[in-house]
Structure 1
Amino acid sequence: MNAVTDETPLCLSETGGGVATVTLNRPDARNAMNIPLLQQLVAALKGAREQGVGVLLLKAEGPAFCAGADVRSDDGTAMGRPGLRRQLIEEACDLVEAFPASVAAVQGPAVGGGWALAAAAVVTLAAPGAMFRFPELRLGFLPPDQTVRRLRAAVGPAAAFRLLVADERFTGDDLARLGLVDVAGAADLGHRARHLAEQFAAAPSDLVQTLRTALTT
């Protein structure tokens, strides 16, 4: 892995074959979302949609998918008083959800906002070493509204409450039993995620959008 410097992009983006591949690239900090990473992430997602790309592949460099918000930088985020970091996390989740088709490849821990980001994708693939956790309430604020809504719709209010409130560590197998993720072998994760994104991109985009709307309204 190449050394990360101050000039290294914190979010990588490329488009090809109808798929926008967006990669969190702050592996030395477990891809924790500070303001610069989030700004680059939002810009990459907006740029792909402005180009008319309908399929997103979201992944991350390093052993962790995303450790959540980088709480070492105080930007005013707190219960009832969202700061810039919080606003950008919610904007990024909304942008991921806005793609007609999307795949998140989670190779390691996805915590807080990191899990929210993965959960915003239509399909989440998780490696055996993936771990999911929501510590938001312990930190004094609520998970993003979009995440609460999606989990409630997917697993019902009781299971969603436990996922969001208990501050437990859930494995990919745990979430697969709830229908929230598909588990893939660590060596196979990237290939499966890319293949699935390409399958989505091969389908007629207008029909994909129509079907997605029908499934979510």
Structure 2
Amino acid sequence: MNIDADQAAGLCLVEKNGTVATVTLNRPDARNALNIPLLRQLAAALDEARAHGADVLVLRAEGTAFCAGADIRTDDGTAIGQPGLRRRLIEQVCDLIESFPASVAAVQGPAVGGGWALATAATVILAAPEAAFRFPELRLGFLPPDATVRRLRDCAGPSLAFRLLAADERFTADDLARLGLVEVVAAPDLDSRARHLADQFAAAPPDLLHHLRTALTT
């Protein structure tokens, strides 16, 4: 797969090994907060990876945070609480992550709001012990993406999903592991474990992976 030089050096990095694509959020100085340029690059990277034959995705991030959520300092001009460009792009990115027959999110630090939504779109979430998860959206006046609400409902049940999404409560990796939502992996082993698991998924026929995921989520 040919990666544009500007993209490879920019906010979103892409590496392809066989049918496994590793996509890295690369805005560590801003804790990988989701501004419009990052979201556009991320959507393009995911779309290109699928178009070039990637069936399995590893989603990871540089720095100490997986993703601090939407970057409201670079607002798109739409008031918080209304459908805007940033929200549409987050939903598009979540849909693209879910388009892979299998995907692994490697969460090494905080995953807040839209960052947790991206991780939730993956088939499996691996989390370092230092990872932390929080949804502040309702207190900011808007809802998380519909797909995120559905996935947490399916994984955790309506009552627990409501608490996860509405309480603006910080959950540790161990908290979510006890609920069966993540697997805790020692930080030095996080990337290697994610890539190993992705390789295991890639050994199966992609059409069967797709049918299995569909059967489990419908």
- In the superposition, the TM-score normalised over structure 2's length comes to 0.94
User: What residue number does 2:35 align with?
Assistant: 34
User: What residue number does 1:155 align with?
Assistant: 156
Unmatched segments (≥5 aa) in structure 1: 1-6
* TM superposition shift of 1:52: 2.6
Local SS of the residue matching 1:110: strand
**1:151-198 deviation digits (Å, cap 9, x = unpaired):** 001111100000001001000110111111000001111110010001
- In the superposition, the TM-score normalised over structure 1's length comes to 0.94
User: What residue number does 2:201 align with?
Assistant: 200
Aligned residues: 210
Task: Give runs of ≥4 in structure 1 deviating > 3 Å.
Answer: none
**1:49-108 deviation digits (Å, cap 9, x = unpaired):** 1123110000000000000000101211522x2111111011101111111100000000
Q: Aligned partner of 2:203: which letter?
A: A
User: What residue number does 1:189 align with?
Assistant: 190
Say whether the 8 Å CA contact 2:18–2:54 is kept in structure 1.
Answer: no
The alignment status of 1:169 with 2:166, answered yes or no, reads: no
User: What residue number does 1:119 align with?
Assistant: 120
- Once superposed, what is the RMSD of the aligned Cα atoms? 1.1
Q: Aligned partner of 2:15: which letter?
A: E
Say whether the 8 Å CA contact 2:110–2:131 is kept in structure 1.
Answer: yes
Q: Aligned partner of 1:18: which letter?
A: T
Say whether the 8 Å CA contact 1:77–1:84 is kept in structure 2.
Answer: no
User: What residue number does 1:78 align with?
Assistant: 80
Say whether the 8 Å CA contact 1:35–1:85 is kept in structure 2.
Answer: yes
Q: Aligned partner of 1:172: which letter?
A: A
User: What residue number does 1:49 align with?
Assistant: 50
Q: Aligned partner of 1:208: which letter?
A: L
Identity %, equivalent residues: 74
Aligned equivalents of 1:99, 1:12: Cα separation in 2: 18
Local SS of the residue matching 1:167: coil
Unmatched segments (≥5 aa) in structure 2: 1-7
Say whether the 8 Å CA contact 1:123–1:181 is kept in structure 2.
Answer: yes
